[in-house]
Amino acid sequence: MENLINYDFIKNYIEDLTPETDDFMKSLEIFAYYNHVPIITKDTRRFLQIFLKILKPKKILEVGTAIGYSAITFAKILPEARITTIEIEEEMFDLAYKNIKKAGCSDRINQILDDARNVLPFLETTYDFIFMDAAKGQYTEYYEPVKRLLSPGGVLMSDNILFKGMVANEELVPRNKRAIVKDLMDFNETLFKDPDFETSFIPMGDGVALSIKKG
């Protein structure tokens, strides 16, 4: 219990110190909150602002656009980067299209409306940074196509890999989440065992994995 209390205090402390976004991004955060649309957490956003400035990727691939919050964040951090983002739900795709246009990023963000499993095998370019934040139960299916698309020295960032801690404690897993959690556990193990990657897990947000492709 003490560890949980300490964690909550630490999380709140860090979030209180984290600078706020601009008014437009704040409006997206409010929309996401009230409409139950998952977007990156405050601490993950701040991490990306620092990490991407260090990495300086020129080409970014995102699997899972939602309302466009992450893609716009990438575009704001890296004005020279080109971003491709894939979304399966038409409603989310349309919302993201409007948001990306309002943000003035349409010329740098290429949206694709389709199931990522249909798209990834046919993409021909390679990317310096790939952000995976789509259906958690399909991460293992995305893995090999995404790995192929990542440049040597590039970084794969996989979001929500701890799934509210359920991957670490089976007692926390409700029956209707067992398949998703099992898939995530398999994915996490694959990441760590893959000799082509160096991977580290960060207990930030709902957990992120950073994987550097060797080569």
pLDDT digits (tens, 9 = 90+) for 104-162: 999 999 999 999 999 999 999 999 999 999 887 888 999 999 999 999 999 999 988 77
Summarised one tens digit per residue, pLDDT across range 41-98 is 888 999 999 999 999 999 999 999 999 999 999 999 999 999 999 999 999 999 999 9
Residue 1 predicted with pLDDT over 50: no
Confidence of residue 5 (pLDDT cuts 50, 70, 90): low
SS3 label, residue 31: helix
Give the residue from 65, 67, 66, 47 showing the smallest Cα distance to 155.
47
Higher pLDDT, 180 or 57: 57
CATH of the domain at 24: 3.40.50.150
- Write down the pLDDT at residue 172: 72
- Phi first, then psi: give them for residue 122, nearest 5 degrees: -110, 0
Bridge partners of 88? none
- Write down the pLDDT at residue 9: 72
* DSSP designation for 88: S
**Dist CA 9 CA 3 (whole Å):** 10
**Radius of gyration of the CA atoms of the chain, in A:** 17
Domain ranges, residue 128: 2-213
What is the model's pTM?
A: 0.90
- Write down the pLDDT at residue 214: 94
Provide the number of structural domains found in the chain.
Answer: 1
